């Protein structure tokens, strides 16, 4: 498997931090005993499925402390028929984002909700529109599906309460006398690769101002 992708210009974005598949999707191939080499699984899965997969592959029992963790072994998912009803969830609250975003993917459909005023949700048919160019959120025929996917999101967490809690924690970290190592702030060490502590790859303005765009590495 690998880290997530980067947008590389798709939808006008260069980096990540968005819910489009170019950024959010993670590739994975499983090889080993008991794995069908010809099997391609189209059931939606996510990173929370990795933990139970490792437990099953190594024959380790789940401890009582981990009993309530989400996820299902990818070994068992791949060994079963594709399940178009299984939904997976993603959220983002980090750098390069003006507000929190939440995503539900169920079968061919992806629903994205943004915690930013005047920013509507998005709905994409990933089978018919893999490049996510045709937002169906305002299609009257999709109203029922949109309500279903919003309900699945709210069943996992309260988007408004989560956004408020995360914003409060971020503000507390930024204003604390002794900040956590990755809390951010203008005085953190910076280089031509950006703010080291946050892992950004966009150079800060004072560096960009003296960089020749014709010779700058991309």
Q: Check whether 118 has a pLDDT greater than 90.
A: no
Average pLDDT over residues 130-154: 95
Question: Residue 148: what are its φ and ψ, rounded to 5°?
Answer: -60, -45
Classify burial at 200, counting beta carbons within 10 Å of its beta carbon; exposed 0-12, middle 13-18, buried 19 or more.
middle
Cβ atoms 14, 96 nearer than 8 A: no
Tens of pLDDT along 30-88?
Answer: 888 878 888 888 899 999 999 999 999 889 999 999 988 989 999 889 889 999 999 99
Tens of pLDDT, residue by residue over 158-202, are 999 998 888 888 778 777 766 655 555 555 444 433 333 344 444
Segment of 16-20, 90-94, 134-138, 208-212 carrying the highest mean pLDDT: 134-138
Q: Taking the model in full, what pTM does it have?
A: 0.77
Q: Average pLDDT of the chain?
A: 80
H and E: helices and strands count for the chain: 6, 6
Strand ranges in the chain using DSSP code E only, listed in sequence order = 87-92, 101-106, 109-114, 122-125, 190-191, 194-195
| Least confident span in 5-19, 36-50, 123-137 | 5-19
**Res 215 pLDDT > 90:** no
- β-pair partners for 87: 106
């Amino acid at each position: 498997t690998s880290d997530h992708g980067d947008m590389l210009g798709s939808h006008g974005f260069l980096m990540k931090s968005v819910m489009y598949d170019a950024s959010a999707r993670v590739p994975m191939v499983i090889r080993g005993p008991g794995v069908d080499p010809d099997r391609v699984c189209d059931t939606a899965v996510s990173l929370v499925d990795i933990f139970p997969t490792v437990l099953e592959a190594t024959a380790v029992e789940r401890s009582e402390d981990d009993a309530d963790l989400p996820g299902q072994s990818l070994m068992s998912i791949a060994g079963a028929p594709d399940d178009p009803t299984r939904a997976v969830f993603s959220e983002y609250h980090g750098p390069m984002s003006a507000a929190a975003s939440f995503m539900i993917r169920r079968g061919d459909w992806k629903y994205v909700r943004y915690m930013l005023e005047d920013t509507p949700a998005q709905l994409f048919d990933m089978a018919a529109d893999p490049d996510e160019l045709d937002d169906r959120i305002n299609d009257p025929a999709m109203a029922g599906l949109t309500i279903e996917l919003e309900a699945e999101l709210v069943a996992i967490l309260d988007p408004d309460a989560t956004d408020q809690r995360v914003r409060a924690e971020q503000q507390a970290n930024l204003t604390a006398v002794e900040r956590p190592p990755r809390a951010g702030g203008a005085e953190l060490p910076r280089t031509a690769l950006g703010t080291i502590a946050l892992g950004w790859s966009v150079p800060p303005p004072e560096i960009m101002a003296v960089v020749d765009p014709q010779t700058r590495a991309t």
